[in-house]
């Protein structure tokens, strides 16, 4: 295979687009990666947007294939199990595996994105275009129009291969949707999410055990917390939207936390400020097909959340997007880098996996908020009766 065999445009430099750029460039393709935001390696992270992620072996395997597993794991905190918090403060540790070395890893989203972008930028043939928002696209000709800052405010580009990794509300997918036969569904949960912080303890250490994913299951809602390397925890509330809407004053916020999460309240000095300032995010499952649309002069495909946005309750959205990159790389290897053959093969192999994880993520919400609590309750009962 010669250098820069095919010109590939990837739209969206989040986790999946940045990793996919690494895979494509390592195969010798010339990749232009477009991103609507400014370069996140210079600008700060967005407030309140999933600060950390649980990355499992599925995601680590993808990172290993581009030589980034060690650098990413060095900055990660392993979580070999979940720590359940009862209302009375009782803690129950439930290991994820009998083998304590098998853990999921708490990883900062912004740091991971920066690592992936640095790795992509260091590869030959890669061009990064920040502040480029795709506004329209013709899947037939491969013509893309981007909004950019300053004069004239738009940039036009074409490419024979376009891959949309521009997230759940993908502009690339929107351009494909206009085609006859394109199936699309989006299902919003009547729950939202909000991020809060448990800062380091006064002695500078972690305020809770950093070797666990913490869960406060409360039947119809829950809170989780993942540790960060700076010794803080990022907490995420998963509540019915109506609960968020009804809680608007510092007094009511403190009252409700005292009722539902008394042990956490004691560790959250900035609770009301964080709660009132941080946005409430939506939770959506998006399914679509096909993921690949051949046009006259171009072929367009989707990967990551653009192809399959899932609920976060299995902690598998990014992991699943990383697996897309591995599979696409494999399909290119098997087809001699013939994108017209490799992309449909990639879709065939990945689509049913993505549909399955979407279902599992929906089911795991009930498991996490409800059943782990009842199991914990039963375990406590057993201890009481022993």
Enumerate residues 119-138 that contact ligand FAD by CB under 6 A: 133-134
- Contact status: 108 vs ligand FAD (CB under 6 A): no
Taking the least distance from each CB to ligand FAD, the nearer of 187 and 259 is 187
Site for ligand FAD (CB under 6 A): how many residues? 33
Taking the least distance from each CB to ligand FAD, the nearer of 88 and 128 is 128
Taking the least distance from each CB to ligand FAD, the nearer of 13 and 328 is 13
- Contact status: 318 vs ligand FAD (CB under 6 A): yes
Among residues 125, 227, 290, 304, the one that binds ligand FAD under rule CB under 6 A: 304
Taking the least distance from each CB to ligand FAD, the nearer of 125 and 167 is 167
- Contact status: 319 vs ligand FAD (CB under 6 A): yes
The piece of 5-13, 114-122, 184-192, 371-379 that touches ligand FAD (CB under 6 A) is 5-13
Enumerate residues 186-205 that contact ligand FAD by CB under 6 A: 193
Task: Give least dist CB 306 to ligand FAD, A.
Answer: 6
The piece of 114-122, 148-156, 165-173, 355-363 that touches ligand FAD (CB under 6 A) is 165-173
Distance of CA 228 to CAs 29, 107, 272, 311, Å?
A: 36, 7, 21, 22
Enumerate residues 37-66 that contact ligand FAD by CB under 6 A: 37, 50, 53-54
Task: Give least dist CB 102 to ligand FAD, A.
Answer: 16
Enumerate residues 212-271 that contact ligand FAD by CB under 6 A: 236
Task: Give least dist CB 318 to ligand FAD, A.
Answer: 3
Residues that bind ligand FAD (CB under 6 A): 11-17, 34-37, 50, 53-54, 133-134, 165-167, 171, 193, 236, 281, 304-306, 312, 315-319, 321
């Amino acid at each position: 295979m010669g250098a820069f065999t095919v010109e590939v445009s990837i739209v969206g430099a989040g986790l999946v687009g940045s990793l996919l750029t690494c895979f494509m460039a390592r195969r010798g393709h010339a990749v232009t990666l477009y991103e609507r935001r400014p370069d996140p390696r210079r600008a700060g992270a967005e407030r309140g947007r999933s600060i950390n992620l649980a990355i499992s072996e599925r995601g680590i395997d993808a990172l290993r294939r581009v030589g980034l597993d060690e650098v990413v794991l060095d900055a990660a905190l392993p979580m070999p199990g979940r720590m359940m918090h009862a209302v009375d403060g009782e803690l129950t540790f439930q290991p994820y595996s009998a083998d304590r070395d098998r853990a999921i890893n708490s990883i900062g989203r912004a740091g991971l994105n920066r690592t992936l972008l640095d790795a992509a930028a260091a590869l030959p043939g890669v061009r990064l275009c920040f502040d480029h928002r795709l506004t329209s696209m013709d899947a037939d000709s491969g013509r893309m129009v981007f909004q950019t800052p300053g004069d004239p405010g738009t940039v036009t580009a074409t490419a024979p291969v376009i891959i949309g990794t521009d997230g759940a509300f993908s502009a690339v997918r929107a351009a494909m949707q206009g085609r006859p036969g394109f199936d699309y569904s989006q299902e919003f949960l009547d729950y939202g999410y909000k991020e809060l912080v448990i800062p380091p303890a006064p002695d500078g250490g972690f305020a809770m055990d950093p070797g666990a994913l913490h869960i406060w299951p409360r039947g119809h809602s829950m809170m989780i917390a993942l540790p960060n390397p700076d010794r803080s925890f990022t907490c995420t509330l998963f509540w019915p939207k109506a609960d968020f809407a009804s809680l608007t004053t510092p007094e009511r916020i403190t009252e409700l936390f005292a009722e539902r999460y008394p042990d956490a309240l004691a560790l959250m000095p900035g609770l009301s400020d964080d709660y009132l300032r941080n946005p409430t995010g939506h939770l959506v499952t998006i399914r679509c097909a096909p993921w690949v649309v051949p046009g006259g002069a171009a072929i367009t495909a989707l990967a990551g959340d653009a192809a399959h946005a899932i609920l976060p309750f299995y902690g598998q959205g990014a992991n699943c997007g990383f697996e897309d990159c591995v599979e696409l790389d494999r399909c290119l290897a098997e087809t001699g880098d013939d994108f017209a053959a490799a992309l449909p093969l990639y879709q065939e192999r990945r689509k049913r996996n993505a549909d399955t994880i979407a279902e599992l993520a929906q089911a795991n919400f009930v498991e996490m908020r409800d059943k782990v609590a009842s199991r914990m309750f039963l375990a406590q009962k057993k201890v009481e009766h022993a």
